[in-house]
């Protein structure tokens, strides 16, 4: 329930004072959250927006005298040959790791575990726990775990291959994007799985009963009944994992740090590198603003999609 | 005009909001820089009354420095009973330390003494983060022990900004055992640049298990090593320069194209491993591999020898050879010199006199000699080379002599940015994404992005 919605209850309540009085409980409840959001989200976002119009730097002459440079940073961004590549990388990473990987795998796992649990198949709990364990790992630990897996010299994968007289394979050299996608899917699938497991419990069993009586196949039951019921929650899940994946950079930083040669450089990592490695805070902020705009576009798209279909 | 006005408003508003939320820390550190310098000399006169606290912040992963810093702190405290020295040792690599330090310097909570590469002098001075030391060194008798070459390495815009303890130089290291197994002599010495690739190819052909022929740093992962331990020596070997006579940075040139072709060969033929481009701190692994015989050839800092020697001095002397960098035509070999890691006083320090006393104490003849024996560099102050232990070490003597054949990296505020451009350009050719010619052209673009198009030129 929103404040506006609450206000709509009394059409005769005119004037700010009366509105405040009538809805004081809502205001009292929402103010702490609004303040926290302002301090930790709106403030820094505005700061980044402001910085993006300056040549603010961490060191050098621009650190001593930051100047307003108008749209220079934006002009530079659109003329930056690396930026196009970074956008493409980000889209490949989000589609590969969030949409194809985490979402489909998470949904599949949820369906399997739900099915198994309904049949009393206990082993499903082990799968559930294993997927969950990957999720509770701190991101940095998860990153190093996959470094230990993919490393050229000491990595478990190459050691395992050498037992069969194969390899070594330079995973990060030959398929860097695939490597970081696999690591991120492994790390993040549990979230989607948990959401869908919860959602599946809310699907009433008699719907399936009726469908079964009608002689519908398992696939049809899924397609005609399960999926439509999951759609609103699916949109929300997609939105959430798309945005978090878009902002991911610790996993990639640990695994390839964007390399080799920008092949895994995603937008969040690029903003970080420009701001804190090249020490150009102004330009780094510009990239962050571009990221914010793209994230908003994703959000609008998903929300419209879920409203249109639900 | 309207646009400007709107921006001005948005700037004011964002500052207001940011200030209200506590995001913005004080701006304009430069404002304090100039004035404080003037007080330096005056304060020197009151040397007897130094009190308060001095915070010394420095990074050290290898662990050679702490005992000497502690020794210096104790000496300062003994000399000035009212002075307290706080040591902030950061056990992180120098890149991470530098970013952390810059964020700190941008705030008001700064250390009094800090310790970073002398290559940062230009950009730190331009930012107003560091204090010029002229008024201090002019009253320091020991300053005469520093040669003019050393002094010019820490001079920027006519002022002295830092005190070095040891100078940077580099060697082309080779594993005698690995090369011998490849049919090369134990006292191998390449006649020209091609000789390095030939030796690497011979090692590769000899098919020794777990031996990488050669490591040539490339890309951002290689950090400062990509420029100073790979691109720059190769550029000089092929007769190129970083800057022209007017101080413009040279992009595409015949020498740069040759360097890129060299990279293409080293990576394309599998002589240098591609995971240098993605590993976190690849130099850690590469240095370790030379130490245990798993890497045959590496151009690296003279100081890394200390790590191998600390582990097993006899084996290092027996197996690790070191030569100067060859040139294209077999001309005189050379090394890459640099100011090394230096001690600085921060501009916002509230106890500059105490800071200076601490810097002096950590740069005595004795400490400089001992520190450079453990963490091998040619000594910055000449009298430290007279210490018997230093003179007795053949490696240190050779390193010091090599400095006479050193070409120094530029003392220029833009050099760190140029290094970033070099990292991008070498990554592309090493990853096999572009041809050497294209890589050289893209280097011009990278340079323009980094330092501005008006400061870049090309040569045909």
pLDDT band at A14 (very low <50, low <70, confident <90, very high): low
For residue A260, whether the previous peptide bond is cis, meaning omega lies within 30 degrees of 0, is yes
Q: Which residue has the higher pLDDT, A41 or B235?
A: B235
A43–B277 CB contact, under 8 Å: no
pLDDT band at B48 (very low <50, low <70, confident <90, very high): low
Q: How many Cα atoms within 13 Å fall on the side-chain side of residue B26?
A: 12
DSSP B50: -
Which has the closest alpha carbon to B421: B219, B252, B228?
A: B219
Candidates B278, B286, B414, partner chain A, best to mutate (most A CBs within 10 A): B278
Residue B288 touches chain A, beta carbons under 8 Å: no
Q: Which residue has the higher pLDDT, B190 or A169?
A: B190
Contact A45, A296 (CB under 8 A): no
Residue B18 touches chain A, beta carbons under 8 Å: yes
Contact A226, A203 (CB under 8 A): yes
B155-156/B159-160 β-pairing? antiparallel
Tokens of B83: 């002075």
Output the CA angle B366-B372-B377, nearest 5 degrees: 140
Tokens of B374: 């453990």
Which pLDDT belongs to residue A309? 56
pLDDT band at A6 (very low <50, low <70, confident <90, very high): very low
B445–A255 CB contact, under 8 Å: no
B445–A81 CB contact, under 8 Å: yes
Looking at chain A, how many residues does it have?
310
Q: Which residues pair with A194 in a beta bridge?
A: none
Which pLDDT belongs to residue A135? 87
The backbone region for A15, taken as left when phi is positive above 0, alpha when psi lies in -120 to 50, beta otherwise, is: left
- Examine the pLDDT at B18 and tell me if it is beyond 50: no
Residue B28 touches chain A, beta carbons under 8 Å: yes
The C-alpha of A259 sits at a distance from chain B's nearest C-alpha, in angstroms, of 5
The rounded distance, in Å, linking the Cα atoms of B323 and B341 is 23
For every residue of A197-252, DSSP letters joined together read: HHHHHHS-HHHHHHHHHTT--HHHHIIIIIHHHHHHHHHHHHHHHHHHHHT--HHH
Q: Which of B27, B278, B413 sits opposite A259 (nearest CB)?
A: B278
- Examine the pLDDT at B396 and tell me if it is beyond 50: yes
Q: What value does the mean pLDDT of chain B take?
A: 89
pLDDT band at A12 (very low <50, low <70, confident <90, very high): low
Which pLDDT belongs to residue A27? 86
Q: Which residues of B touch A76 (CB under 8 A)?
A: 449
pLDDT tens per residue, range A60-119: 989 999 999 999 999 999 988 899 999 999 999 999 999 999 999 999 999 999 989 888
Q: Which residues of A touch B124 (CB under 8 A)?
A: 59
A50–B10 CB contact, under 8 Å: yes
pLDDT band at A191 (very low <50, low <70, confident <90, very high): very high
The rounded distance, in Å, linking the Cα atoms of B37 and B33 is 7
Question: Is residue A294 packed enough to be buried (19+ CB in 10 Å), middle (13-18) or exposed (0-12)?
Answer: middle
pTM of the model: 0.84
- Examine the pLDDT at A1 and tell me if it is beyond 70: no
Which pLDDT belongs to residue B162? 97
- Examine the pLDDT at A259 and tell me if it is beyond 50: yes
């Amino acid at each position: 329930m929103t404040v506006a919605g609450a206000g709509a209850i009394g059409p005769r309540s005119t004037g700010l004072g009366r509105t405040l009085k009538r809805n004081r409980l809502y205001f009292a409840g929402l103010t702490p959250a609004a303040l926290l959001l302002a301090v930790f989200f709106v403030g820094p976002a505005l700061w980044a927006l402001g910085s993006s119009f300056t040549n603010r730097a961490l060191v050098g002459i621009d650190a001593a005298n930051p100047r307003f440079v108008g749209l220079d940073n934006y002009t530079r961004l659109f003329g930056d040959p690396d930026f196009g590549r970074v956008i493409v990388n980000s889209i490949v990473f989000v589609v590969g790791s969030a949409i194809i990987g985490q979402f489909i795998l998470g949904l599949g796992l949820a369906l399997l575990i739900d099915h198994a649990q309904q049949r009393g198949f206990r082993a499903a709990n082990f799968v559930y726990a294993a997927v969950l364990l990957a999720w509770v790992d701190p991101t940095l630990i998860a990153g190093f775990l996959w470094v230990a897996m993919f490393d050229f010299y000491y990595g478990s994968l190459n050691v395992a291959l050498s037992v069969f007289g194969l390899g070594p394979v330079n995973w990060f050299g030959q398929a860097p994007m695939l490597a970081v996608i696999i690591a991120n899917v492994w790390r993040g699938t549990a979230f989607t799985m948990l959401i869908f497991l919860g959602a599946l419990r809310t699907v009433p069993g008699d719907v399936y009963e009726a469908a079964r009586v009608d002689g519908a196949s398992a696939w049809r039951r899924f397609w005609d009944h399960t999926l439509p019921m999951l759609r609103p929650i699916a949109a929300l899940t997609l939105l959430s994992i798309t945005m978090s994946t878009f902002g991911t950079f610790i996993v990639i930083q640990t695994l390839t740090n964007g390399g080799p040669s920008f092949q895994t450089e995603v937008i969040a990592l690029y903003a970080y590198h420009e701001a804190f490695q090249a020490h150009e805070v102004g330009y780094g902020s510009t990239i962050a603003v571009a990221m914010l705009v793209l994230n908003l576009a994703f959000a609008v798209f998903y929300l419209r999609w879920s409203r249109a279909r639900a | 005009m309207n646009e400007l006005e709107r921006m001005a408003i948005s700037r004011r508003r964002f500052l207001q909001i940011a200030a209200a939320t506590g995001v913005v820390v004080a701006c304009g550190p430069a404002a304090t820089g100039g004035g404080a310098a003037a007080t330096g000399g005056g304060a020197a006169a009151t040397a007897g009354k130094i009190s308060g606290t001095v915070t010394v912040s420095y990074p050290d992963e290898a662990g050679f420095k702490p005992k000497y810093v502690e020794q210096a702190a104790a000496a300062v405290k003994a000399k000035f009973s009212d002075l307290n020295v706080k040591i902030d040792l950061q056990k992180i690599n120098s890149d991470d330390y530098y970013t952390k330090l810059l964020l700190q310097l941008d705030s008001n909570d700064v250390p009094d003494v800090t310790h970073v590469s002398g290559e940062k002098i230009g950009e730190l001075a331009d930012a107003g983060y560091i204090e010029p030391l002229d008024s201090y060194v002019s009253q320091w008798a020991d300053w005469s022990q520093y040669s003019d070459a050393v002094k010019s390495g820490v001079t920027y815009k006519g002022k002295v900004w830092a005190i070095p303890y040891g100078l940077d130089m580099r060697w082309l290291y080779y594993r005698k055992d690995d090369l011998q197994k490849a049919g090369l002599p134990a006292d191998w010495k390449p006649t020209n640049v091609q000789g390095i690739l030939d030796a690497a190819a011979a090692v590769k052909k000899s098919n020794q298990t777990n031996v990488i022929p050669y490591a040539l740093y490339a890309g951002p992962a290689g950090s400062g090593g990509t420029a100073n331990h790979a691109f720059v020596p190769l550029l000089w070997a092929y007769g190129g320069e970083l800057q022209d006579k007017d101080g413009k940075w040279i992009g595409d040139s015949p020498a740069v194209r040759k360097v890129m072709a060299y990279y293409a060969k080293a990576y394309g033929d599998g002589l240098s491993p591609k995971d240098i481009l993605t590993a976190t701190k690849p130099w850690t692994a590469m240095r370790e591999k030379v130490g245990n015989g798993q890497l045959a050839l590496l151009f690296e800092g003279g100081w890394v020898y200390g790590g191998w020697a600390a582990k097993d001095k006899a084996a290092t002397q027996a197996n690790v050879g070191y030569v100067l960098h060859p040139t294209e035509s077999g001309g005189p070999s050379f090394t890459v010199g640099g100011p090394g890691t230096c001690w600085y006083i921060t501009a916002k320090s509230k106890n500059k006199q105490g800071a200076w006393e601490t810097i002096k104490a950590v740069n005595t003849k004795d400490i400089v000699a001992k520190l450079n024996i453990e963490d091998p560099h040619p000594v910055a102050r000449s009298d430290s080379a007279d210490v018997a232990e230093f003179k007795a070490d053949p490696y240190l003597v050779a390193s010091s002599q090599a400095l006479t054949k050193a070409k120094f990296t530029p003392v220029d505020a833009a050099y760190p940015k140029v290094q970033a451009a070099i990292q991008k350009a070498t990554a592309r050719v090493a990853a096999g994404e572009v041809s050497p010619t294209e890589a050289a052209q893209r280097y011009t673009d990278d340079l323009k992005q980094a330092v501005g198009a008006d400061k870049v030129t090309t040569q045909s």
